[in-house]
Amino acid sequence: MMHKALFVLPGVGFILLAVFLVRGLFLDPSRIPSPLIGAPAPQFNLPDLGDPSREVTNLSWTGSPYLVNVWGTWCAGCREEHEVLLDIARNHELPILGINWKDQRELALRWLAELGNPYSAVGADLEGRVAIDWGVYGAPETFLVGADGRVLWKHIGPLTVEAWRDEFLPRLQGQGG
């Protein structure tokens, strides 16, 4: 005959499973952390959105921290976060480099004219190669790059005041920025 204690095993196993499931309820399975954090920021050259004959590259920006924001006129969340970006540009002396992802030039330029331009420079990533290099999988996404050129943080989804305050500022201050 089976030892009485063995009969408790299924119940114990189930409790363990339930513990994981509770934990799982408070995680978001679709938010993917970036493997770029801590690594040097990928370098890119993109045609300038306004003047395609000029180049926009983040190479010239190393030495002090900056933000990279991936956006498109087709993306509803980008509209949501636009005010926050304008705010940051106005108040925080932190340059924002924009990557216009898989968009149309005329639409993007009109958008910036109408809603305001928080970007120090905008590159047009028509083919999406730069976005892939940065591990972008949906817009908007915002990256914080430190003075040493390493990616400090990636925020997925519209940038909110709370996110700026709780995720970006502490890391920025850690830089002495």
Partner 1 sequence: MRLRGLCLTVWLALSLPGGTALAIDSEAAFADPAMQARYENLNRELRCLFCQNQSIADSNATLAQDLRREVRDMMAEGRDDADIRAFMTARYGDFVLYDPPLAPRTWLLWAAPGLLVMIGILAVVLVIRRRARNLGDETDGLQGEGEP
Partner 2 sequence: MIPELGHFALVLSLLLALSQSWFGLVGAARGRVDWMRSAQTSVAGQWLLLLLSFAALVWSFIQFDFSVAYVANTSNSLLPLFYRIAAAWGGHEGSLLLWALILASWSAAIVAFSRQMPLPFRSRVLGILGLVSVGFILFMLFTSNPFDRLIPAAPEGRDLNPLLQDFALAVHPPTLYLGYVGLAVPFAFACATLLEGRQEVDWARWARPWTLMAWLCLTVGITLGSWWAYYELGWGGYWFWDPVENASFMPWLMATALVHSLAVTEKRGLFRSWTLLLAVSAFSLSLLGTFLVRSGVLVSVHAFATDPSRGLFILGFLVAVIGGALTLYAWRAPALQAPGGFAPTSREAFLLFNNALLVAATGLILVGTLYPLFMDALGLGKISVGPPYFGVAFLVPMVPLLLLMVFGMHAAWKYSRLGVAKRPLFILLPVALLAAVGLILAGYDHFSLAAFAGFGVALWLMGSSLIAPWQRRDRWRSLPAGFWGMTLAHFGVGLFTLGVTGVESYRIERDLSLAPGETATLMGYDFRFDGTREVQGPNYAAVEGSFTVTREGEPVTVLTSQKRLYASGGNPMTEAGIHVSPRRDLFVALGEDLGAGKWSMRLQYKPLIRYVWLGALLMALGGLVATADRRYRVQPAEEEGARA
* Site of interaction with partner 2 (CB under 8 A): 1-2, 4, 7-8, 10-11, 14-15, 17-18, 20-27, 29-30, 32-33
Q: What does 74 interact with, of partner 2, partner 1, none (CB < 5 to 8 A by kind)?
A: partner 1
Using CA atoms, how far residue 76 sits from 63, 72, 73, 110, in Å, is: 33, 9, 8, 16
Write the single-letter amino acid at 20. Answer: F
The residues near 53 (Cβ < 8 Å, ≥ 6 apart) are 47
Write the single-letter amino acid at 66. Answer: Y
Between 21 and 76, CB nearer to partner 1: 76
Between 30 and 91, CB nearer to partner 2: 30
Using CA atoms, how far residue 108 sits from 9, 55, 97, 113, 158, in Å, is: 61, 17, 15, 9, 18
Q: What does 10 interact with, of partner 1, partner 2, none (CB < 5 to 8 A by kind)?
A: partner 2
Q: What does 26 interact with, of partner 2, partner 1, none (CB < 5 to 8 A by kind)?
A: partner 2
Both tokens of 56, joined, read: 């926009």
Interface residues with partner 1 (CB under 8 A) are 32-36, 74, 102, 127-129, 131-135, 137-138
